[in-house]
Amino acid sequence: MIQYPTIFSFFSGAGFLDLGFETTGYKIAYVNEIFPPFMSAYRYAREMLKLPEPEYGYHQGEDADVGKLINGNSAQKLQELIKDARKQNHQNNTQNNIIGFIGGPPCPDFSIGGKNRGHLGENGQLSSAYVELICQNLPDFFLFENVKGLWRTTKHRLFYESLKQRLQENGYILTERLINSIEYGVPQDRERIILIGFKSDFLKVQEIKILELNNFNFPWSQFIKYDKSQVFDFPWIKTEPFKENSFTNCPDHIPQELTVEYWFLRNNVVHHPNGKHYFQPRAGITKFASIDEGDDSRKSFKRLHRWRYSPTACYGNNEVHLHPYKVRRISVAEALAIQSLPSGFILPENMSLTNMFKTVGNGVPYLAARSLAQSILEFLKI
């Protein structure tokens, strides 16, 4: 019997990354999220999707403080859970006994449009803590996700390289890629740096040969559906005059499945439980109607085009995304669709709108998460 890897999830948010791994076969055993509203959303969404509770439970608040998981009683408890997970797999007489960590530490301190405080910022320090957590517990593999600013911006790149060096010193062989979610069928232009590492002694046991330590044959491209350079060369409509409640057909010669309207229809967002969850403006309705469909040139008040992909789903820092043909902001259901989540993924009604949009914007798009999970399985020959 094949045993799929057991996952310990950190900075879990509402569980988009976890869901991508779980629906690919992995076992989500441990969930860690310090912000209680996000954890409540995670639990609620799992209930709606009829998924089992993680074997080692949900860890939130102080219990989920990554810093405390490095030292003290919390650290010891985590180590015991990991040992138990390995023991269970072994008792099942399975060939694979694999433990993985996945997580995307909060990233505003590395974001070009965010606080840009770098590794000294409160959120920036969490990236160091996550790497230290990996080095202390030595999972067989890990996934680290963050904004492209950590990888591309000169002032942050030195810090990123120091994290990689720390991981290599602890026996990890690394591979990285700047991905764009649109490559995986997500209707969104969203770039993120993905760093994946495998313990070198684990790979030897698995009889996986590595020719070059930092350039091994990881199947990054195998589950890509669209070449991003070709996607952006399609004849996308740029802007059109806004017409409330208008109807237009999808133009020829573009991939319809990468458009927001395709996903709005696919997820039946009008009748989705989160379909009426959107901010009601106190003023500015006139401004809402004055912005052309598809005009996303502003930092805020971007209007989506129904027959084009969305800009990065980011709904903080006063960034407002407008519905293509309604005089309003997009709804939570529409934002979930833009993140390529299944229509059965629902956020709890008693969650604040601010927290709903924050957790949606912070999440890893579901189809991207699935493809990354599949790539790891392919590499491990599972």
Packed helices 124-137 and 154-169: angle between N→C axes, nearest 10 degrees:
10
Cβ-Cβ contacts under 8 Å for 379 (sequence gap 6 or more): 208, 218, 219
Report the catalytic residues: 107
349 DSSP assignment: T
Per the CB < 8 A criterion, the answer to whether 179 and 171 are in contact is no
The CATH number of residue 50's host domain is 3.40.50.150
Does residue 281 fall inside a structural domain?
Answer: no
Per the CB < 8 A criterion, the answer to whether 361 and 297 are in contact is no
Task: Please list the residues that pair with 176 across neighbouring strands.
Answer: 195
Does residue 82 fall inside a structural domain?
Answer: yes
For residue 80, CA distances in Å to 75, 103, 163, 209, 330 come to: 9, 20, 25, 31, 44
Does residue 319 fall inside a structural domain?
Answer: no
- pLDDT of res. 63: 77
Residue 362 backbone dihedrals phi, psi, to 5 degrees: -80, -20
- pLDDT of res. 111: 55
Residues 134/139/144/150 CA torsion (nearest 10 deg): 40
Distance CA 78, CA 74 (A): 6
Residue 56 amino acid letter: Y
- Cα angle value 303/306/309 (rounded, 5°): 80
The parent domain of residue 375 ranges over: 6-225+365-380
Q: Report how far Cα 209 is from the mean position of its chain's Cα atoms.
A: 29
Does residue 293 fall inside a structural domain?
Answer: no
Task: Please list the residues that pair with 250 across neighbouring strands.
Answer: none
Does residue 156 fall inside a structural domain?
Answer: yes
Distance CA 38, CA 46 (A): 12
Number of domains in the chain: 1
pLDDT in tens, the chain (382 residues): 568 999 999 999 999 999 999 999 999 999 999 999 999 999 999 999 999 999 999 999 877 788 888 887 889 999 999 999 988 755 555 555 799 999 999 765 445 555 555 455 566 688 999 999 999 999 999 999 998 888 777 888 888 999 999 999 999 999 999 999 999 999 999 999 999 999 999 998 887 776 555 557 899 999 999 998 899 999 999 999 999 999 999 999 999 999 999 999 999 999 999 999 999 877 667 888 999 999 999 888 999 999 999 999 988 767 899 999 999 999 999 999 999 999 999 999 999 999 999 999 999 999 999 999 999 999 998 8
- pLDDT of res. 109: 46
pTM of the model: 0.93
- pLDDT of res. 68: 84
Does residue 264 fall inside a structural domain?
Answer: no
- pLDDT of res. 100: 98
* Residue whose token pair is 């979610």: 181
Does residue 154 fall inside a structural domain?
Answer: yes
Does residue 211 fall inside a structural domain?
Answer: yes
